[in-house]
Amino acid sequence: SAPLLAVRDLERHYPVTEGLLQREVGRIRAVDGVSFTVERGETLGLVGESGSGKSTTARTILGLETPTAGKIFFEGNDIDDLSGAAERAFQRRVQLVVQDPDEAFNPRMTVGEAVAEPLALHGMDDADRRRAIVTDLLERVGLAAADSERYPHEFSDGEKQRLAIARALVVDPDLLVADEPTSALDARVEAEILGLLADIREAYDVSILFISHNIDIVRRFCDRVAVMYLGELVETGPTDAVLSAPAHPYTRLLLDSVPSLDPTDRGLPEPLTDTVPDPADPPTGCRFHPRCRSVIQPDGVDLPTDTWRAVAAFRFTLDAEALPDGLDDTAAVRE
């Protein structure tokens, strides 16, 4: 049967305009040809540095952005073709949890009202029933029924994220898109929220698209991982396979940039210091090649690395077939 979610050749470009006439002078290729699936019951990690296009991908899936090109399928149906009840069902069945829970809450609404709001929006008119569902859910996410009378500012950041998760869950979704849901939290609270999400995916059988810049959290939390760089996926596959033997040098760089949890490994993480290229003018060939430590010179060539990179970048525009090792510009996909 069709996967729960299938993203096919998705592009979201933002025009760069100039002058009073808003003449288009370029395009930021925020998402530039991305394909992946999320199966029922699965957690897929989408990982990459800041600016790689993770949130834009998420927002496009939720219908908050219009794709420049490409398609999104939910249970095999093109979401563009949905209307009426089918469209509302899609809007109910895919829910977003963002990094900053304050975005999800109106400071003047009690959290009980806020968590119940999606129920009313999706047609549940019975206020008593809404209240009963919300109190239940508050306890499920580790808060108290009485908390529903309180206001958002009375809660800690971790508690607010629990409330945001409750608000996303209240309409019984099949897919949670969690965009860095723990990035703003300290390590202890982060672990608590990850524990809660793990409980919830078990109890409610919900799939999760888990967006993170932290490959170590993805390792602990996700069944499969998709690694994103400058608008493209460089590698997709089962988490263990990808992280124990990364096929793409960018994945290796991400792995080397987090502290090892292995106590016998004394190597210090290598910080990601070099800058990410401009997404309005991405490098030709493999977009990672200007930062790649595995750029390999062909036999008989002996140039300083930077010079070779420049040559290689030029070469790719002429001959995309014959790329040396480490410069493969086709994403390595191991499904």
Tell me the per-residue interface mask from 274 to 293 with ligand ATP, x by CB under 6 A, - otherwise.
-----x--------------
d(CA 135, CA 124): 16
For the chain, the distance separating the N- and C-terminal CA atoms, rounded to the nearest angstrom, is 16
Tokens of 309: 């990179």
Sole window of 43-51, 70-78, 124-132, 191-199 interacting with ligand ATP (rule: CB under 6 A): 43-51
Q: State the nearest-atom distance from the C-beta of 228 to ligand ATP, in Å.
A: 7
Contact 230, 281 (CB under 8 A): no
Examine residue 112 and tell whether it contacts ligand ATP (CB under 6 A): no
Q: Beta strand pairing status for 207-212 and 224-229?
A: unpaired
Tell me 326's DSSP state: T
List own/partner pairs for 236-240 with CB under 8 A and 24 or more apart: 236/36, 236/331, 236/332, 236/333, 236/334, 236/335, 237/332, 237/333, 237/334, 237/335, 238/334, 239/45
Tokens 């945001």: give the residue: 164
Q: In the set 162, 213, 219, 248, which binds ligand ATP (CB under 6 A)?
A: 213
Q: How many Cβ atoms from other residues are within 10 Å of residue 329's Cβ?
A: 16
Nearer to ligand ATP, 14 or 151 (CB): 14
d(CA 116, CA 106): 13
Q: In the set 7, 13, 42, 56, which binds ligand ATP (CB under 6 A)?
A: 56
Sole window of 47-55, 127-135, 151-159, 262-270 interacting with ligand ATP (rule: CB under 6 A): 47-55
Examine residue 14 and tell whether it contacts ligand ATP (CB under 6 A): yes
Nearer to ligand ATP, 51 or 101 (CB): 51
Size of the site for ligand ATP (CB under 6 A): 13
What residues numbered 43-62 form the site for Mg ion, per CB under 5 A?
54-55
Q: State the nearest-atom distance from the C-beta of 48 to ligand ATP, in Å.
A: 6
- Partner from Mg ion, ligand ATP, none contacting 51, C-beta within 5 to 8 A by type: ligand ATP
The residues, ordered by sequence, that sit 6+ positions from 253 with a Cβ below 8 Å of its Cβ are 270, 272, 291, 293
What residues numbered 23-42 form the site for ligand ATP, per CB under 6 A?
28, 30
Which residues in this chain contact Mg ion in the complex, by CB under 5 A?
54-55
Which residues in this chain contact ligand ATP in the complex, by CB under 6 A?
14, 28, 30, 48, 50-56, 213, 279
